[in-house]
Structure 1
């Protein structure tokens, strides 16, 4: 064997070693992914929403690269149809990878198709996610393409995977009634169960407005935590846990696309808004209880400005932000 043939043989051997190493690395990665995913899924023993069936969801296909996902927080127990404890529409722009959240107050007085005037959170118990979609379209001209119903039993587990060191919040006063724990006032670092109590506490001095603000705060801080290295490592287990505690019609490809955008932190900070907006509603007592009777025209315009800001609107927002600093 001459020198040239020896070198060629050596190069082939080196390439073979590299190729084999890559195969082993990929194989180990797949095994790790499947193991972590299955571990997250099998640890979910108390899910109340995963196997629940609903009427056909008739959301349209997304247009213009924007996806609206209806996030419903379920407080139902097994074999029960609870009202949606939380309703948030998450807007995801596939081009900018920006995420925006619209929280709809549960006591908003709306027309539920086929069922007259009711509180917003009644739509879910009456007709599941499809009736919520129809209600949002009829009252706010808001198209929702997908839904995701999150079982609150799984919230603490997902929080601890995303933020193992906890989430820091400023608690304004003692919170304890109805949450099975006592949260002391002041700056606190909350883990899964505690953070669930923090976002679900209903006896707020600001009524339900405070609870919605806390929910948006928690989601924003969890999103910031999700870009860390530990979240990338825990992603398979997080997806497995979410698969067990979330009932959704989102396909896996779209879920991974959104997760990738968030984890790469291209989307920046979360933009949030609350419906009804300030100075657009009055409190009323009606046959279904205390409600927020809102100016729909003003709120529809606010949603449109939030999702499709003009140059002037964006400039005004920046100016307002700077004036608050």
Structure 2
């Protein structure tokens, strides 16, 4: 059991460092933040007029006025389930990245999936993958977007096979 915890802790640390470095590198060297609004999704909050934004609650107003780029980092287990979900938000003005972990067991219900193991956030990815959807990661991103109430612009996935190779070498 100690060996498992040690390997798991090292793998999680490596995953967080690699993903953080990857997001940091992408936003600092490869992303054209001047055209950031052209890359945004179709989240309804992005279509508000300035008058509508002024009437929003403070939290929603801050999101609507923000130029932040939001990314969901998804760690995939060998069985195909999403195991680690990290919401990363990059502020192009300050060059700062804020990251929070989204618990995989967060309750998320979709109609027709009523059993306890299907009512978890990590079930969204594997369910759509088994259906043959190529958009399993996008469906997970949409679910997290709905839960957090914050528009997410993109996602990145990483397999734990890669993390395992890092730990064993």
Using the size of structure 1 for normalisation, the TM-score is 0.27
TM-score, with structure 2 as normaliser? 0.50
Q: Whose radius of gyration is greater, 1 or 2?
A: 1
